[in-house]
Amino acid sequence: MKLSVWENGQLIDATFDELKALFNRPTWINVNDPSLEDLSRLSGVLGMPLIEYLRSNYPHSDSYKQYTKIFSWYLTPSRGSKEFSFFRSPVVILANKIGVITLSNTRSGVDGKVAEKLESKDLSGLSVPARVTYIVLLQMLEAYEQHVEEFERYTDRLEVAVPPWPKKFYAEAFHARRDVSNLLRILRHFRIMAESLTRESKYRPFNEEEERRMIDTIYDRAVGTEEMAEMTLETIRDMISLHMDTLSHDMNKAMRLMAAITAIVALPSVIGSLFGMNLIGNPWPWELWEVSIVAMSLALVLIVYFIVKGWLTDVE
């Protein structure tokens, strides 16, 4: 674990003993890659159940008497897989009206983004907790937007494919649908969380009008990203349905063709079986050529019938 504090425009190492005092100063404290033992020690110093904060399955915020807790997921793509899945890295923000603590792992890169933008002039009018929270939420939202755009590009590739798809397309489409559904669930909770942060509460770190306005921009972008994800998911579902229907339609055409051929061939076979090849001595005065003409005529009638019905012509 690495514990550091923002001092003089940079992150410097800090110790457990300083943590409680630092949390009551207008500064930012960052905790990277904490183990369960580290979280237990941090919980003892701060008096907060930090281990429980990392067990949630969806983004949300909770307001307590002395601080506000924000939990969310930072998404990174799983580059080593052919699927469109992603890794979820938990990010926790603990903020009071004075200081703020971020808990994350190195993969999320939260500390680097916050350190890069914390002294930005655009955020100079915000308190330190509001600045850090805004930067972290914006970073996570941008990661969500990137994944939605990736899914949109993949959907465009599916739309230009002539049905039916190759076999691998079906597997990819089902995986993409699953991952977009997971992303949409995260986005919905993220949007609800962003909306809740702007509500009036004496415990939330965003009490000034300017601070709530900045979080409102996060909420507005989250709404747009959620709508894009919903449209992408609906498009993928429609494409899967279209291609499955195409397969079913092609199978029906093949079955109709097989049924027509079976009926055409079966009629002469049945007549030939009944009358046999040797008609001498039978009680009906029919010759072989007469039976053949009748059988072929009936088969021809069936051929014309199935052509009119389209069973023999509507095939590719």
Render pLDDT for 237-277 as a digit per residue (tens, 0 to 9). Answer: 888 888 777 767 666 677 777 888 888 888 778 777 766 65
DSSP reduced 3-state for 224? helix
Mean pLDDT (the chain, rounded): 82
Instruction: Tell me the per-residue pLDDT of 270-291, one tens digit each, with 9 for 90 and over.
Output: 777 766 655 556 666 666 677 7
- Residue 220's pLDDT is 92
Taking residue 266's Cβ as centre, other Cβ atoms within 10 Å add up to 12
Alpha helix positions (H), 126-208:
128-159, 167-197
Task: Assess whether pLDDT exceeds 80 at residue 87.
Answer: yes
- Residue 231's pLDDT is 93
Confidence of residue 299 (pLDDT cuts 50, 70, 90): confident
- Residue 310's pLDDT is 78
Phi, psi of 66 (to 5 degrees): -110, -10
CATH 3.90.580.10 applies to domain 2-247: no
Torsion angle (degrees, nearest 10) of CA 248, 249, 253, 259: 50
Kindly state the tokens that stand for 4: 């550091």
Instruction: Report the C-alpha gap between 299 and 308 in whole angstroms.
Output: 14
Half-sphere exposure of 110 (CA within 13 A, CB side): 30
pLDDT exceeding 90 applies to what percent of the chain?
19
Kindly state the tokens that stand for 45: 């110093």
- Residue 105's pLDDT is 86
With residue 316 as reference, give the H or E element that holds it: none
- Give me the mean pLDDT over the 291-315 stretch: 78
Residue 28 to residues 31, 35, 116, Cα–Cα distance (Å): 10, 20, 13
- Residue 249's pLDDT is 61
- Residue 85's pLDDT is 72
Residue 149 to residues 75, 131, 215, Cα–Cα distance (Å): 14, 27, 23
Half-sphere exposure of 205 (CA within 13 A, CB side): 28
With residue 40 as reference, give the H or E element that holds it: helix 36-46
Contacts of 32 (CB under 8 A, 6+ apart): 1, 2, 3, 4, 104, 105, 106, 111
Instruction: Tell me the per-residue pLDDT of 162-215, one tens digit each, with 9 for 90 and over.
Output: 777 777 788 888 888 889 999 999 999 999 998 888 775 555 656 677 777 888
Alpha helix positions (H), 1-35:
16-23
Instruction: Report the C-alpha gap between 118 and 257 in whole angstroms.
Output: 71
Kindly state the tokens that stand for 5: 């504090």
Query: Are 6 and 27 in contact, with CB atoms under 8 Å apart?
Result: yes
CA–centroid distance for 51 within its chain = 27
Instruction: Tell me the per-residue pLDDT of 4-30, one tens digit each, with 9 for 90 and over.
Output: 999 888 889 888 788 878 888 888 999
E strands in 60-99: 60-63, 68-77, 86-95
- Give me the mean pLDDT over the 69-96 stretch: 80
- Give me the mean pLDDT over the 118-122 stretch: 87
Can you say whether the dihedral through the CA atoms of 51, 53, 131, 74 is positive or negative?
positive
Confidence of residue 83 (pLDDT cuts 50, 70, 90): low
- Residue 228's pLDDT is 94
- Residue 216's pLDDT is 87
Instruction: Report the C-alpha gap between 157 and 287 in whole angstroms.
Output: 65
- Residue 139's pLDDT is 92
Q: Which residue has the tokens 């009936």?
A: 298
Torsion angle (degrees, nearest 10) of CA 113, 116, 118, 123: -100
For the chain, which residues make up each domain, given as ranges?
Answer: 2-247, 248-309
Query: Are 185 and 161 in contact, with CB atoms under 8 Å apart?
Result: no
- Give me the mean pLDDT over the 109-135 stretch: 88
Task: Assess whether pLDDT exceeds 80 at residue 300.
Answer: yes
